[in-house]
Structure 1
Amino acid sequence: MASTAAQPVVLVTNDDGIDAPGLRFLVDQLVAQGRYRVLVCAPDTDRSGVSHCITWRSPLRCKRVDITGAAAFGVSGNPADCASLGISGKLFDGLVPDLVLSGINIGSNCGFHVVYSGTVAGAREAFIYGFPALAMSYNWVAGKSSVNDLKVAAEVCMPLINAVMVEIKNGTYPKESFLNIDVPTDAGHHKGYKITKQGKFMARIGWEPTAYKKPAVESYQTANMNADTENDMEVDSSSENDLLFKRVIMKKSYDEEEGDDIDYKSLVDGYITVTPLGAHSRAEADAIPYYKACLSRI
C-alpha cells in the first residue's frame, strides 16, 4: 500500500478540525523537514469525542483548504471518515500514504479515554486497513498550557515520526499494532519517550439539570473531555417543556497499583508515552472459561 513516490507520503488527520493549531503545527513540522509529501484530510469542524463514528448514508463534502506545503481538504465527516477517505486513493489522485498521523489533539488520550477519542479512531481506522498509524495528543491543562505548547509538542514528536518512517521504509515496522502517543504538559522539558500500557484512567462523567445549551464561544482549548466548559453558556429558549442536562466531570481517577509503565501515570510523571494499541476489544483470557461454563448450563 505504500506510495511509489520518491518522498514518503504522510497523511494527517485529527478530531479538533482542520483549523486546529495542533494539526497546523504538526503539518508545519512535516513540511519543514523537506523529506515528506504531506496530505491533509481532516474534519471541517471540531469533532472531538466522536470515537469511531462513521458517516454511512450521506455523501461527504470535501473542500480544498490552503495549507502551505500540503495538499489539504476539510471534510464534512468524522475522523474515521477522513482517515478512510484519505487512504482510499480517491481524494488525492491515486496517492496513498506510507504513514497516517492523527493529531495533535488538545487534551490527553490515556486509559479509557482511548474509547471516546476521535483522534485515536483516526489512527485506528487507518491501521484496520493496513496502514501504519500514530495518534498524538498533548496533555493540555487549563490555565497553564498555551497554544505555543502545541508547537513544542509537534516538535518533540518529530524524532519518533522520523524513526517510524525509517522502519516502514526498511520493511521492519510491525503490522500488529498502531501507536497512541501522549505528550506531557511541560513538553519542552519531557523526560524522554517511554513505552507504556493502556491503563484505567477516566474522567468520570455525571449529569446535572441545566438551563443552558451550548458554549457561547467555542475554543480549541475547551475541545476535550478534561476541560471545564460549564462557564459562558448560552441560554436555550427552545421550549419550556424540554429537559436539559449537561455533562459534568465528577472526578478523574486511575488505579495507583497499575504500575510505573501505565500511560497516564507515566504522562503526568513527565514522559512522552508511546502506547501500542490493537483494534480488537477482546475480553481478558481468564474470563472465557466462566462464559463457557455458563453456556454449557443453558
Structure 2
Amino acid sequence: MEKTALGMFEATKTKDKKQTDSKTRTSSKAANQGLKYSTAFWFVAVLAGQWFFFYYIISFYGFSVINDNMEIWNRWEVFGKTPYQVGDFAGNLAFAAHAIGAGFVAFGGALQLLPQMRRYFPKFHKANGYLYLLTVFALSVSGFYLVWVRDQHPITLDGIGTSINGILILAFTFFCARTAIKKDIRNHRKWAVRLFLVSNAQWFLRLGVFSYLVTGTSLGLDPKFGDPFFPMWTFGCFVIPLVMAELYFLAGDTHRSAVKWIAAGSLSILTVLMLVGMLGFTPFLIMVMSGGEISI
C-alpha cells in the first residue's frame, strides 16, 4: 500500500514537473518570438528610412556637386547653417565628402546586419564591411575637421556631442575590425551593431527631433526648439540606441523570458517613436529637395 501511494506521489510529481517544463518552454519560445519579431519590425523601419535618406543625400548633395551648384546647400541658412562657403575649397570638399559618405553609410550599413547577407553572400559582406569601416572612419575624421577647424564659432553643445560620437565611431571601428580579423564572429556582430548605431547618430538625431515635435503637437502641447529635450537629445541620439543594443544583447544571451519581453517591448516602442519621426522627417526632406521654402 505504501509503495502504491509512493508510486502515485512520484508519478504526480513527475507529471507536474513535465507540465512546468512545458509551460517554461512555451513561455521561452513566445519570448524568443517576440524578440525576433520586434527586431524584424525595427530592421524594416530602419532599412526603409535609411534608404530614403540615401535617396535624399544623392538627390540633394550628390547632384549639387555634379552640377556645380553647391550654393544650394545654404538653403539650410534659415536654421543658422551655411555649409557652402565661397572660396573655401577644402571646407566645401570636406563637407561634400562627409554628406555623400553618409549616404553610403545609410545604404550599405543596414545590409551588413542581415544574417542572410553574411550567409549567402560572404564575399560581398566582407568587401562591403571593410568599405563601410573605411567610410565611417573618414566620416569621423571629416566631422572633427568640420567642427574643430572649419567652424570659426565657439564650440557648442552640438559640437561636443558630435565629437564624442566621432570618438565612439573610431573606437567601435577598431573593435569591429579587430574581431573580424580574429574571426570572433559573436563579438564582431555586437561591435558591428554598435558601430552601425553610432555611425547613424545624426540620422537618429533628426528622427528624434521630428518625433518630439510631431508627438508633442499631437498631444496638444507646444514643443519648441528651446525645450530641454534638444540639448539632452544631442547625446541621447547615440546613448539611447547603445543602451537599447546592450539590452538586446542581454536578452539574446539569457534564458529569462522577462528580460526578452522587456527588450522586445522597449525595441517596439522605440521603433514606433522612430516611425513617428519618419512621418515628420520624410515630408521635410521632400520639401528640401523640391526647392520650396524650408520651414518646420
TM-score bracket for the superposition, by shorter chain length: under 0.3
Structure of higher CA gyration radius: 2
| Structure 1 or 2: more strand by fraction | 1
Question: Using CA pairs below 8 Å that are at least 6 residues apart, which structure has the higher relative contact order?
Answer: 2
Q: TM-score, normalised on structure 2? A: 0.24
